[in-house]
Amino acid sequence: MADTPAGDLLARVIGELVTDVRAGREPALADDPDAVHQLRTSVRRLRNVLAGFGRYVEKRPAHELRAHLASYGALLGAGRDLEVRAEDCRRVLAELGRSDLEHALVDPLLAAHGGAHAVLVDWHGSPDAAALDHLLGMWGEKAPLAGRARRPVGQVRRSVLRRELRRVLDRAEEGETSHDVRKAARRLRHVAEAVGETALARAGKDVQGRLGDHRDAVLLAGHLWSAGAPAVVVAHVEAAASRVLEGLPADLEALRAMDES
């Protein structure tokens, strides 16, 4: 098994992720519950696997697909972020017994989400959507692998995972709560999940999730402040944003221990 070419594993993983992206499109366009989130996650997984295994796929085709996926992910994210903010806002108001403020603070987010979803639906009839679908079809049928993909899968797995782990830790040394740390942790998680390294994937998810929750709380506080929410509501969210980071040093230490093992 360890002598199996890495390309065999990589082609299978990419094929499955392409299928997930294409299958997730219809539910997302119908705005089924959680469907946009699931499609956005599938897009991110595919993009991160292509990046993590960048030395083992043909550079130019991979760059082209990743660029299209990045644009698609941003389009999906526009609506999803508003949906999350509305859910978080409703929850905070319920915690504080101020559901009377929902109309003023939540309704604008829901309206903006509706507009973002309409843009997403319209985009799927565009030339850019057709170009992405063509690329997905090509990669799903036969992923363009580089010569290095003939190397043993065990060797490639170790090399890629160690590099992705170091990438998270290097960025954390520059600033623990940075946007780059969150993105690096997400990529580590997706790459580790793709090759069945569940412990490492879980550790990456812990860092990603904590920083993601912090980002959501900061963005929600900004929305509440700009929408004229009472100061006590804004302060409640800002305090939650600070608390969520309390466990981050331990999460990063767990990753360092894996790097040293």
Q: Do 139 and 182 share a domain, yes or no?
A: no
Q: What is the tens place of the pLDDT at every residue in 124-181?
A: 999 999 999 999 999 999 999 999 999 999 999 999 999 999 999 999 987 766 889 9
259 versus 164: the higher-pLDDT residue is 164
pLDDT of residue 214: 94
Q: Do 115 and 4 share a domain, yes or no?
A: yes
Which residue is it, tokens 């997984």?
A: 45
pLDDT of residue 99: 94
Q: Do 21 and 134 share a domain, yes or no?
A: yes
The burial of 231, by beta-carbon neighbours within 10 Å (0-12 exposed, 13-18 middle, 19 or more buried), is given as: exposed
Which residue is it, tokens 């360890």?
A: 2
Q: Do 123 and 250 share a domain, yes or no?
A: no
Other beta carbons within 10 angstroms of residue 239's beta carbon come to 12
pLDDT of residue 95: 95
What is the total count of domains within the chain? 2
* End residue of a domain, out of 127, 150, 173: 150
Q: What is the tens place of the pLDDT at every residue in 182-233?
A: 999 999 999 999 999 999 999 999 999 999 999 999 999 999 999 999 999 9
Q: Do 121 and 172 share a domain, yes or no?
A: no
pLDDT of residue 177: 67
CA atoms within 13 A on the CB side of 168: 35
Q: Do 136 and 161 share a domain, yes or no?
A: no
> 109: Cβ–Cβ under 8 A, 6 or more apart, which residues?
82, 85, 86, 89, 223
Q: Do 139 and 103 share a domain, yes or no?
A: yes
2: pLDDT confidence band, cut at 50, 70 and 90?
low
Q: Do 156 and 205 share a domain, yes or no?
A: yes
Which residue type does 70 have?
A
Q: What is the tens place of the pLDDT at every residue in 79-129?
A: 999 999 999 999 999 999 999 999 999 999 999 999 999 999 999 999 999
Other beta carbons within 10 angstroms of residue 85's beta carbon come to 22
Which domain covers residue 46, as residue numbers?
1-150
pLDDT of residue 1: 55
What are the DSSP calls for 217-228, one per residue? Answer: HHHHHHHHHHTT
Q: Whole-prediction pTM value? A: 0.94
* End residue of a domain, out of 116, 150, 184: 150
Q: Do 101 and 141 share a domain, yes or no?
A: yes
Q: Do 23 and 143 share a domain, yes or no?
A: yes
* End residue of a domain, out of 88, 118, 150: 150
Q: Do 120 and 197 share a domain, yes or no?
A: no
Q: Do 54 and 104 share a domain, yes or no?
A: yes
